[in-house]
A = this chain, B = another copy of it.
Amino acid sequence: MSRANSPDRDTVSEIAAALGRHIETNGLMVGDKMPSELSLAEQYGVSRTVIREAFRSLAALQMISLSPGKRASVSLSNGEPVARILEHSVRMDAVAIQDVYDVRRTVEARTATLAAIRRTDKEAENIAWHASQMKSLFHDPAAGMEHDIAFHHAIARASRNKVFEMMITSFEGITRETWPVGWRSRNSDAERLAMVDLHMDLASAISQRDAIRSAEIMSQHFDVSTRALLSAGIR
């Protein structure tokens, strides 16, 4: 078989695209195996080097997973590559932190709504538990942050929308970087406590299946957070 021709793009990219098409065309699903590197090399008339680099490209997007001895197998992204891209964009000053928070507010107001509608009892409990842990760990910001992040993630999961869940996952790294700033920028323990209580309220709204109030509280939470970051000089 010959390899493409048209806009003399990079050979590796072409092969990577072809391998993507291979998955599509053959209807491969998660866990299914790709052909061996050698057979693909022969099939496309390139060296194993090229096939391997193309594999790496797909693996970077977590479209396949590679492990020694085994054939490459189709897999599913957990959103981590998106997080990498986003964090890189922030570092390059192409994206402002405030932009990220605007997106988070928009998205999470919706996940709160959906969670209120779709949550299971167990999910509601889990969400409430993280909120209460935030409160108990009031004196331990680092631990509190982890529960905060887990809290938002749990809500996203309860929204039953994988795209939202993936997005929230993608924001975690940036959250982890900015959270301490927001925490410190609150001027008093009273303010910090109010923030924590907002989480308790949100958990209870979700628990009561109050979709509208859930979204309102989530939006309010982000209003406050956004201001806190702004006052700390984070644009």
Q: Which residues of A contact B (CB under 8 A)?
A: 10, 12, 16, 20, 23-24, 29-30, 49, 52-53, 56-63, 66, 74, 76-77, 79, 81-82, 84-86, 88-89, 91-96, 99-100, 102-103, 106-107, 109-110, 114, 161-164, 166-167
**A93–B76 CA distance with the chains assembled, in angstroms:** 10
Copies of the protein in its oligomer: 2
Smallest CB separation, A9 vs chain B (Å): 11
29 residue pairs from A and B, CB less than 8 Å apart? A16-B60, A20-B84, A20-B88, A23-B88, A29-B93, A57-B57, A60-B60, A61-B84, A61-B85, A62-B85, A63-B84, A63-B85, A63-B88, A76-B88, A76-B92, A76-B94, A77-B85, A89-B162, A89-B166, A94-B162, A96-B162, A99-B164, A100-B163, A102-B163, A103-B161, A106-B106, A106-B107, A106-B109, A107-B107
Residues of B contacting A86 in the complex (Cβ-Cβ under 8 angstroms): 163
Partner of A12, one of B24, B56, B89, B103: B56
Let me know if A91 and B23 touch, CB within 8 A: yes
Q: Is the interface of A mostly helix, strand, loop or mixed?
A: helix
Closest chain B residue to A29, Cβ basis: B92
CB <8 Å contact, A162 and B95: yes
B99 touches A66 (CB 8 A): no
Contacts of A164 in B (CB 8 A): 99, 102-103
* B53 and A103 contact, CB distance less than 8 A: no
- CB-CB under 8 A from A76, the residues of chain B are 88-89, 92, 94
Seed contacts A61-B84, A79-B85; 13 additional CB < 8 Å A-B pairs = A20-B84, A30-B94, A49-B49, A53-B56, A61-B88, A63-B85, A63-B88, A89-B162, A89-B166, A96-B162, A99-B164, A102-B164, A106-B109
Residues of B within 8 A of A59 (CB): 57
Report chain B residues within 8 Å CB of A16.
Answer: 60
In order of increasing CB-CB distance, the 3 nearest A-B pairs are A60-B60, A57-B60, A106-B110
Given A61-B85, A81-B85, A85-B63, A162 contacting B99 (CB threshold 8 A)? yes
